[in-house]
C-alpha cells in the first residue's frame, strides 16, 4: 500500500484524484469503475436528506453500495438540522466512509428550497448544521462549497473557517459563485486562499477538463486533492492522467462493454441500456464511429444486440 497523500481526519486517502458528486451519473457501476481506474475517493450523487427518510426508490438505488466500493463519500443536501441528522445516521449505517454536506449545488430546484448553495447566504446555519452532523455520526464530516452566492457576496473564507471550527474534516471548493453556475472561468486563486486559511485538507474543483489541468490546478492552489467531474464521464482513464483522444479505440471497447454489463446487472437490461447512453456518447468521442453507427448504438434495446454491434464496429 502506498503512503497516503492526505487524511480525512483518520481516513487515509491514497491519491489526489477524486470523483466529484455527479448527480445522474454516480451510480454504483460508475463509482466502482472510477475506483478501479485510480480514483482515490468517490462520491455518491447529491442525495436529499428528506427523500432518504421517506424511503424514495431513487435514493435507495443510489445508496446500494458494493463491498469493494471504498473509500466512499455520501453527499447529502437539506437545510433542516434534525432531518439532516436523522438521514446522516441512516446512511452511516450502510457503511459509508465519509459524510459530505452540500453547500455548492446551484441548480434552481435545489436552491429554491433553501438548500445547496443557497445556504451560503446563511453561514450561521451552516455552522449549526455541520456541528450537529459531526456530533451525530462517527465517520468524518466534510463539506462542498462555492465562492459565495454571487459576485457581491463572495464569503468563501468566512464559510471555510466556520466549517473548520464546526468540526468538518475536509472542504471541497468549486471556484465559482452560485450565480455563475458553470459559466465564466473558475477562480483557482480563491481556492488557494481557502487552502491558506484552514488547516483541514482542501479539494479543488472547477475547470479540470483534461489531464494537464490537474497539474495546473494543483500548482496554482496547493490543494490536497482535485475533484474531477464531467471530465470523467466516458473517460475513467482521466484518473490515470490520460485524455480520451489518447486512448485507442481497441482499449476503449472492453471498458465500454464491462461498464454496460455492470449497468445492466445493477439496473436491469431496460434501464441499464438507457442510462448507459449518456456515458456512451462520451466514450465515442474522438473515434471513427460514424453517425449512423452511433445512432444504432443509442437505439439498441438489448445487451446482445449492443454487444454484437460494438464487436462488429471494433472488428472483433
Indicate the residue among 244, 268, 288 that finishes a domain.
244
pTM for this predicted structure: 0.94
- Dist CA 199 CA 167 (whole Å): 11
pLDDT of residue 1: 65
- Report strand pairing: 72-77 vs 98-103: parallel
Residues 93, 207, single domain; the answer is yes
Query: How many domains does the chain divide into?
Result: 2
7 strand-pairing partners: 12
pLDDT of residue 21: 95
pLDDT of residue 23: 86
73 strand-pairing partners: 43, 98
Contact 204, 176 (CB under 8 A): no
Instruction: For residue 161, give the CATH number of its domain.
Output: 3.20.20.70
Contact 140, 100 (CB under 8 A): no
227 strand-pairing partners: 18
pLDDT of residue 205: 97
Residues labelled as active-site residues: 105
pLDDT along the chain (316 residues), means of 10: 92 98 93 98 95 84 90 97 97 97 95 96 98 98 97 96 98 96 94 98 97 98 97 97 94 94 94 93 88 86 88 68
Instruction: For residue 295, give the CATH number of its domain.
Output: 1.10.1200
Whether 278 is in a domain gets the answer yes
Residues 199, 113, single domain; the answer is yes
Residues 154, 167, single domain; the answer is yes
pLDDT of residue 29: 96
Contact 182, 171 (CB under 8 A): no
Amino acid at each position: 500500500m502506498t503512503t497516503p497523500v492526505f487524511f480525512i481526519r483518520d481516513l487515509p486517502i491514497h491519491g489526489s484524484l477524486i470523483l466529484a458528486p455527479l448527480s445522474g451519473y454516480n451510480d454504483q457501476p460508475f463509482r466502482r469503475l472510477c475506483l478501479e481506474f485510480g480514483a482515490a475517493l468517490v462520491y455518491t450523487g447529491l442525495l436529499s436528506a428528506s427523500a432518504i427518510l421517506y424511503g424514495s426508490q431513487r435514493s435507495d438505488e443510489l445508496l446500494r453500495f458494493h463491498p469493494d466500493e471504498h473509500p466512499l463519500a455520501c453527499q447529502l443536501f437539506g437545510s433542516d438540522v434534525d432531518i439532516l441528522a436523522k438521514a446522516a445516521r441512516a446512511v452511516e449505517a450502510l457503511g459509508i466512509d465519509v459524510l459530505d454536506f452540500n453547500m455548492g449545488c446551484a441548480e434552481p430546484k435545489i436552491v429554491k428550497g433553501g438548500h445547496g448553495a443557497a445556504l451560503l447566504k446563511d453561514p450561521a446555519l451552516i455552522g449549526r448544521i455541520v456541528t450537529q452532523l459531526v456530533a451525530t455520526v462517527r465517520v468524518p464530516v466534510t463539506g462542498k462549497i462555492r465562492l459565495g452566492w454571487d459576485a457581491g457576496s463572495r464569503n468563501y473564507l468566512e464559510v471555510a473557517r466556520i466549517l473548520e471550527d464546526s468540526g468538518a474534516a475536509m472542504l471541497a471548493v468549486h471556484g465559482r459563485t452560485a450565480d455563475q453556475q458553470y459559466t465564466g472561468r473558475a477562480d483557482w486563486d480563491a481556492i488557494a486562499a481557502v487552502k491558506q486559511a484552514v488547516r483541514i485538507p482542501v479539494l479543488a474543483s472547477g475547470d479540470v477538463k483534461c489531464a494537464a489541468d490537474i497539474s495546473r490546478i494543483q500548482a496554482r492552489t496547493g490543494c490536497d486533492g482535485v475533484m474531477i467531474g464531467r471530465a470523467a464521464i466516458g473517460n475513467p482513464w482521466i484518473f490515470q492522467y490520460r485524455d480520451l483522444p489518447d486512448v485507442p479505440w481497441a482499449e476503449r471497447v472492453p471498458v465500454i462493454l464491462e461498464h454496460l454489463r455492470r449497468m445492466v446487472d445493477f439496473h436491469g437490461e431496460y434501464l441499464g441500456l438507457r442510462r448507459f447512453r449518456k456515458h456512451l456518447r462520451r466514450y465515442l468521442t474522438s473515434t471513427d464511429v460514424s453517425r449512423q453507427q452511433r445512432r444504432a448504438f443509442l437505439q439498441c434495446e438489448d445487451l446482445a444486440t449492443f454487444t454484437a454491434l460494438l464487436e462488429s464496429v471494433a472488428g472483433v
